[in-house]
C-alpha cells in the first residue's frame, strides 16, 4: 500500500523518489503538452512519448500535438535527435577510429569538415563530433532561436543545413560500419525518425538521401477513404 501511494505521489509531482530503479526513472506520462507546465514543455512531452517505448511508432511521434506549433515540434525533434546522437557517437567511437577512418566518407563520397574555420579533411569521428557540436550550438543559440515556442519560417534554412550535415554521420555509419548501424537502428529507430522527419518537413532533397530505404524509413501507404 505504501509503495502504491508513493508511486502515485511521484507521478503527480514528477520526481524520482530515493530508491527508484533506473528503468523506472522519469516514468510519468502526459496526455497533452499543456499538462507539462514548464518552459521546456515540448521537450518533456516528446521525451515522455519516447520513454513509453513508442520509438517504432514514428508517424505518431512526428504528428504535431495540440498546444505546440509545427516548427516548434520540428525544433524539439532536432534537439532530441542531437541528444541521442551524442550517445550514438560515444559507442561508435570504439570502432570508428582515426586509423581506420582517417577521412570522412559516405560510400564513395568524401566530405570536408567545416569545423576548422576553413573546410579541410577530417577523420570520420572528428567530422561527426564537430558536426554535432555545430548543430547543438545552433539549436542553443538565443539569437537564432530566441523563443523555442515560436519558431519562425526563416529558421527553416538552419534546419536544412543541420539535416544535410548530420545525415552524413548516418551515411558513413551505414556504408562503413554496417553491423553497428543495424544494431543501433533495431534498438533506437533513430535514423528512421531522422529521415522521416527530413522528408516530412522537406529538409533534404531525395538526391541527398543515399542510404537505401529500409522498412522503417518508408512512408506508410495512404489509405483511400
In-domain check, residue 9? no
In-domain check, residue 182? yes
For 97, the domain range is 20-205
User: pLDDT digit string (tens) for 87-142?
Assistant: 999 999 999 999 999 999 998 889 988 877 788 889 999 999 999 999 999 999 99
Which residue numbers in the chain have pLDDT < 70?
Answer: 1-14, 16-17, 20, 22-42, 53, 217-225
- Binding site for Zn(2+), by residue number, is 96, 101, 172, 177
pLDDT at residue 4, as a whole number: 40
For cell 522537406, the residue is 202
In-domain check, residue 211? no
pLDDT at residue 7, as a whole number: 42
In-domain check, residue 218? no
* SS3 at position 15: coil
In-domain check, residue 126? yes
pLDDT at residue 104, as a whole number: 95
pLDDT at residue 45, as a whole number: 77
Q: Average pLDDT over the chain, rounded to whole?
A: 82
In-domain check, residue 97? yes
The total number of structural domains that make up the chain: 1
Cβ contacts of 181 within 8 Å, gap of 6 or more = 170, 173, 174, 191
pLDDT at residue 218, as a whole number: 58
In-domain check, residue 161? yes
Entry pTM? 0.82
In-domain check, residue 133? yes
> Within 10 A of 196 (CB to CB), how many other CB atoms are there?
20
pLDDT at residue 133, as a whole number: 96
Identify the CATH number of the domain in which residue 153 sits. Answer: 1.20.140.30
Q: Which residue, among 5, 34, 3, has the nearest Cα to 21 in the 3D structure?
A: 3
pLDDT at residue 205, as a whole number: 93
User: Please, is 105 exposed, middle or buried when counting C-beta atoms within 10 Å of its C-beta (0-12, 13-18, 19+)?
Assistant: middle
- Binding site, by residue number, is 96, 101, 172, 177
pLDDT at residue 202, as a whole number: 95
Amino acid at each position: 500500500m505504501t509503495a502504491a501511494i508513493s508511486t502515485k505521489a511521484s507521478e503527480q509531482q514528477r520526481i524520482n523518489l530515493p530508491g527508484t530503479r533506473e528503468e523506472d526513472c522519469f516514468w510519468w506520462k502526459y496526455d497533452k503538452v499543456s499538462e507539462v507546465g514548464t518552459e521546456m514543455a515540448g521537450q518533456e512531452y516528446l521525451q515522455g512519448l519516447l520513454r513509453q517505448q513508442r520509438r517504432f511508432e514514428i508517424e505518431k511521434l512526428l504528428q504535431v500535438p495540440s498546444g505546440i506549433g509545427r516548427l516548434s515540434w520540428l525544433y524539439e525533434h532536432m534537439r532530441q535527435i542531437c541528444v541521442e546522437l551524442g550517445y550514438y557517437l560515444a559507442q561508435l567511437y570504439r570502432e570508428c577510429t582515426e586509423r581506420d577512418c582517417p577521412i570522412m566518407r559516405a560510400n564513395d563520397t568524401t566530405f570536408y569538415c567545416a569545423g576548422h574555420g576553413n573546410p579541410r579533411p577530417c577523420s570520420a569521428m572528428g567530422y561527426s563530433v564537430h558536426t554535432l557540436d555545430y548543430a547543438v550550438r545552433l539549436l542553443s543559440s538565443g539569437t537564432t532561436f530566441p523563443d523555442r515556442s515560436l519558431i519562425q519560417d526563416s529558421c527553416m534554412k538552419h534546419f536544412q543545413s543541420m539535416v544535410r550535415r548530420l545525415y552524413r554521420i548516418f551515411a558513413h555509419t551505414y556504408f562503413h560500419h554496417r553491423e553497428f548501424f543495424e544494431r543501433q537502428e533495431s534498438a533506437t529507430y533513430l535514423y528512421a525518425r531522422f529521415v522521416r522527419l527530413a522528408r516530412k518537413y522537406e529538409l533534404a532533397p531525395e538526391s541527398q538521401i543515399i542510404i537505401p530505404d529500409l522498412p522503417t524509413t518508408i512512408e506508410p501507404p495512404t489509405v483511400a477513404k
